[in-house]
Amino acid sequence: MATTKLRGSTLTRRLFTGLAAAAAIGVLAACSSATPQSSDGKPSGKLQMLVSSSDATDAGFRAINAAFEKQYPDVDVVFSTVSNDNYPATKSSRLTAGNLDLFVVKGMMETPSYAKDAATDDARLAQAGGLVDLTHESFLAKYTSSLLDAQAIGGKQYSVPTGVSYYTGVFYNKKIFADNGLKVPTTWSEFTAVVDALKAKGITPFGVGGKDSWPAGLPMLASVASLYPHATDKQQLAKDLWTNQAKLTDPTEVKVLQQTEYVLQNAQQGAAGADYTSIPSGFAGGKFAMTVDGTWDQPTIETAVGGKFDYGYFPFPGSDNAADNALLNGKTELQLAIPSSAKNKTAALAWLKFFSEKKNYETFLAKSGFSSAQPGISTSTFLQSIGEYTKSYEPAWDQIWFANNKAGQDAVFPFDYPALKPLGSKTPEQAAEAAQKAWSAAG
């Protein structure tokens, strides 16, 4: 009978259950085991590091990590790299789990009074004491003071800027330009003439990776850079929008969307469904003559082109006044911070000091493609070639604009480029109207 049989195997099953429970507890305990810590003196143990990924910067960090482990053999750098879209979720879970020693923070800037409720998560984290204060660390003195000033929160420093990127420019195929007698345009009318000439020859003007959405926003940022050429112009626009002194349906704001749409409409077939990562190979294959992209992608483009032709980079000429298009706009890249909950602060501080040393920093810049955040550092041939466009640092629009969490998605950027054809289904005027409606409704 079943009952008797069950009784006969009770002991075995209890033993099995007990062993299974013990194993489960063991596994759970192993999962939550603490990272080995270093003492106050020599760095040792595991250094948990998390960054948002790109091929070039990952290569730069890996080179630094290898050199760091060579100098500090007792340290094991556990390097994690996560895509931009997944980075906030990963950062959140790793911070909650308390297994981060060094990580990338974003949006480290003082929140203006008109947008006081729109402070970024990382700025709030710094203010709440969640990041280690680096203000008095000697290695920070190596960095450009204006960059440090821009990232100060409450007058204190919480992060190390790993470099500067510019992303309001256009990579162009010099061979295609030369073959068709085209010169680098410096005004909007010259730019449209170049596009018309390319189209007349059956050459696709632009490559855009629209599937990832944000790359299609680069022409928008580039247009703002030209139409609001100085930081003060952008700051005034941001303030005017927040205080409802300006509208997204005003002529210049609509022009931003019109110029963005112009690029999208003259992009390769299927641009709205193309991956960002497919653009360098498309550019290298001559499928299009230009792409609006950031200098962070130059090492990838360089590898893809492989010396088949020369290429260059010029500021997006959105204005008909060439002087307004003279400078590239940029941002401080991948700021590294130490969370207060870090278990291995000693190793994290040692890593930042090691990274900041001239020789190591040059190694990182050579691989990452970033412009230097330290004065007196030699830069790549490409960065030297765009020196005239970067002689004075101008922050890009997304470094000034604070999105309103209360507003709808149409007003996030707030220029509603995702709504434009072919990404969406709206004209620039309709997209501007939708953005203004979402913005006004948020109060």
Partner 1 sequence: MTQSFPFPRRMPVRITFGLGMLLLGIFGFVPAVGVLVASFTDLRGIPGLPIDFVGIQNYVDFFSPAKWADSANALKNTIIFAVASTVVQIVLALGIAVLLNRSIKGRAFYRAVVFMPTILGVTVTGLIWSLIFNVSGGPAASVLNLFGKHSAFFGDPKLALALVILVQVWMVIGISVIIFLSGLQAVPEELEEAAEIDGASSWQRFRNVTVPLLAPSITANVLLGIVNALQSYQLIYVLSGPNNRSTQVLSLLVYVQGFGGASGTTLSQSQGYAAAVSMVQFVLVAIVSLIALAILRRREAKL
Residues in contact with partner 1 by CB under 8 A are 1-3, 6-7, 10, 84-85, 88-89, 91-92, 95-96, 107, 118-122, 124-125, 128-130, 210-214, 217, 268-275, 278, 282, 287, 340-341, 398, 401-403, 405-410, 412-413, 418-419, 422-425, 434, 437-438, 441-443
- Crossing angle between the packed helical segments 55-71 and 358-368, to the nearest 10 degrees: 150
CB–CB of 274/211 below 8 Å? Answer: yes
Nearer to partner 1, 58 or 76 (CB): 58
For the bound state, the minimum distance from the C-beta of residue 351 to partner 1, rounded and expressed in Å, comes to 22
Nearer to partner 1, 71 or 409 (CB): 409
CB atoms within 10 A of CB 96: 10
For the bound state, the minimum distance from the C-beta of residue 156 to partner 1, rounded and expressed in Å, comes to 16
Which of helix, strand or coil describes residue 372? coil
Contacts of 101 (CB under 8 A, 6+ apart): 35, 47, 48, 49, 338, 339, 342, 343, 344, 345, 347, 348
For the bound state, the minimum distance from the C-beta of residue 410 to partner 1, rounded and expressed in Å, comes to 6
Nearer to partner 1, 107 or 317 (CB): 107
For the bound state, the minimum distance from the C-beta of residue 322 to partner 1, rounded and expressed in Å, comes to 27
For the bound state, the minimum distance from the C-beta of residue 59 to partner 1, rounded and expressed in Å, comes to 21
Nearer to partner 1, 129 or 375 (CB): 129
For the bound state, the minimum distance from the C-beta of residue 323 to partner 1, rounded and expressed in Å, comes to 27
Pinpoint the alpha helices (H) of 154-312. Answer: 174-179, 188-200, 218-227, 231-242, 251-265, 279-284, 298-305
Nearer to partner 1, 62 or 211 (CB): 211
Pinpoint the alpha helices (H) of 292-357. Answer: 298-305, 345-356
Nearer to partner 1, 106 or 353 (CB): 106
Nearer to partner 1, 64 or 438 (CB): 438
For the bound state, the minimum distance from the C-beta of residue 64 to partner 1, rounded and expressed in Å, comes to 25
Strands 329-337 and 311-315: unpaired
For the bound state, the minimum distance from the C-beta of residue 212 to partner 1, rounded and expressed in Å, comes to 6
Nearer to partner 1, 75 or 290 (CB): 290
The CA distance from 79 to 85, in Å, is 18
The CA distance from 193 to 195, in Å, is 5
CB–CB of 348/102 below 8 Å? Answer: yes
Backbone angles phi, psi at 369, to 5 degrees: 85, 5
Q: How far is CA 293 from CA 276, 279, 327, 364, 417, in A?
A: 10, 9, 15, 21, 16
Which of helix, strand or coil describes residue 310? coil
The CA distance from 96 to 50, in Å, is 14
